[in-house]
Structure 1
Amino acid sequence: MLQIHQVPVLSDNYVYLVHDPEDGMTAAVDPAESEPVAEALAARGWSLTHILLTHHHHDHVGGVAALKAASGCTVVGARADAGRLPGLDHPVADGDTVTLGRATAQVLAVPGHTRGHIAYWFDAESALFCGDTLFVLGCGRMFEGTPEEFWGSLSRLRDLPDSTRVYCAHEYTAANARFALSVEPDNPELVAWAGEIDDLRRRGLSTVPSLLGREKLANPFLRADRPALASAVGLAGAAPVEVFAEVRRRKDRF
């Protein structure tokens, strides 16, 4: 139903254009810059009707003002972060839905990276726009949340179907793979995937989206309740949130 186009911006960000070809509605997810987004819209003959924001950081909202001024689009974002989201028209909270043409996204509250972070899950399209909460083989830094909040958010995303395509907001995958291998060097799924990632990046190709089913097998931040991961970080038998916090600390120092 939806057409999804990835727009590389800044040094390693991705903006996503989400388009319903039947009624012409188009959303930009986390527009860090305006010009590349406007150029991508013009190249496809699409008109911007919505902006979907996952959180308030500048590398996700930097293009909002210019795009809204040019298009008159509706800006959607977290009610909990209303004071930090530019141009917000439609505040949403966990459990709300956002309609884009014939498609509907469920709003998921996923705090941890920031306290008001949300994700948009288009169930029928198997598409998850998760900002900086979940990356390919990684997760965002824990700037405002607690380990309990962040692990709860990641566990919630992990519960989505394996077929879910993960549209995260950064091309951090090669570095994430190197870190993941330092934690679980004998994970066969991870080893195989890391080789594919190296090949994609050598050819200048994106590693995003990934499949959530694959993330569940290889992303250490989704595996904190797996005995093999706990043992690998010296915390056999520890609570999953303790394991997650330790993995996050190691990544911060990596």
Structure 2
Amino acid sequence: MKGQKAMPLEIVTIPCLSDNYAFLAHDAVTGQTGLIDAPEAAPVLKALDDRGWTLSHVLLTHHHWDHVDGLAGILAKQPAKVIGAAADANRLPPLDQQVTEGDSFEIGGEPVQVLDVSGHTDGHIAFYMPESFAVFTADSLMALGCGRLFEGTPAQMWVSLNKLAALPDDTLVCSGHEYTQSNAKFAITVDPENQALKDRIADIDRARAAGKATVPSTLALEKATNPFLRAADPAIQAKLGMVGADPEAVFAEIRARKDRF
């Protein structure tokens, strides 16, 4: 029942395809389980079966094939309520519930808040679970990066990233891809004196050498090391020859450089 949730949701990271992630968010009291994005059916079904969990909700962040193509196979074995953006409904699989920014719903008694994080695509949304200290960002804010602007503008993405950066620092950032090591190689080119970034790169290299995931990360770590959140930083602005420039313009330059990297 609402108000009686005893603990945060248990979050499980599921590697899919070659470099995607899906996530499960499970409430032990009610047994409800949400899946965030559906890149591939088999690993998701195995993760559910291994734990004896029953799927209750599927949350879709955006329409790209590598976030939705596993849905039909998952629902064939584990029927669930499918939730996605009203603005993207014409490009998503059939939705049981269409949501927009400011909407909320519950999984296992925990509120799930919807954020519009357009930029990578128009209609891209993120799902924030404040009681579990987690935000599911897919291809908006990523570990040491942000999604390529396939449909949106730098201005849109800058607004979206600032919206996410305003969440509590201890928020777990559950993003959609294992791109962290390649993102790090770019990040150091625009923020070469950042010791926190250097330390993170060493940690990333150790994790990947051991076959470990670098996702999720924390918002505090992203704010300290992710250049796409740091466009107002004087050192980055100086490196780019843009001292005193509007951070939105600096972000646009960082994104353009990453596109060419």
TM-score band w.r.t. shorter chain:
over 0.9
Map of 1:114 onto structure 2: 121
Map of 2:38 onto structure 1: 31
- Structure 2 CA distance, aligned partners of 1:226 and 1:203? 33
Shift of 1:72: 2.2
Amino acid at match of 1:115: D
Q: Does 1:81 align with 2:88?
A: yes
Q: Does 1:179 align with 2:186?
A: yes
Map of 1:168 onto structure 2: 175
- Please list every run of 5 or more consecutive structure 2 residues that lacks an aligned counterpart in the other structure: 1-7
Preserved CA contact (<8 Å) 1:68 1:74 = no
Amino acid at match of 2:166: D
Map of 1:192 onto structure 2: 199
Shift of 1:70: 2.5
The partner residue of 1:237 within 228, 234, 244 is: 244
Secondary structure in structure 2 of the residue aligned to 1:56: coil
Shift of 1:232: 1.4
**Number of aligned positions between the proteins:** 254
- Structure 1 CA distance, aligned partners of 2:183 and 2:49? 34
Q: Does 1:128 align with 2:138?
A: no
- Structure 1 CA distance, aligned partners of 2:21 and 2:78? 21
CA RMSD of aligned residues (A): 0.9
The partner residue of 1:223 within 219, 224, 230 is: 230
Preserved CA contact (<8 Å) 1:167 1:208 = yes
Secondary structure in structure 1 of the residue aligned to 2:231: coil
Amino acid at match of 1:38: L
- The ranges of structure 1 where at least 4 consecutive aligned residues each deviate by more than 6 angstroms after the TM superposition are none
Shift of 1:85: 0.8
The partner residue of 2:72 within 65, 70, 91 is: 65
Q: Does 1:53 align with 2:63?
A: no
- Structure 1 CA distance, aligned partners of 2:38 and 2:218? 23
Secondary structure in structure 2 of the residue aligned to 1:83: coil
Amino acid at match of 1:53: L
Shift of 1:211: 1.0
The partner residue of 2:257 within 236, 250, 253 is: 250
Secondary structure in structure 2 of the residue aligned to 1:246: helix
Secondary structure in structure 1 of the residue aligned to 2:89: helix
- Structure 2 CA distance, aligned partners of 1:113 and 1:75? 22
- Residue-by-residue CA offset, 1:119-139 (whole Å, 9 max, x unaligned): 011011110100100111100
Identity of aligned residues (%): 51
Q: Report the TM-score when normalising by structure 2.
A: 0.95
- Structure 1 CA distance, aligned partners of 2:170 and 2:78? 34
- Structure 2 CA distance, aligned partners of 1:135 and 1:234? 25
Q: Report the TM-score when normalising by structure 1.
A: 0.98
Secondary structure in structure 1 of the residue aligned to 2:29: coil
Shift of 1:233: 1.2
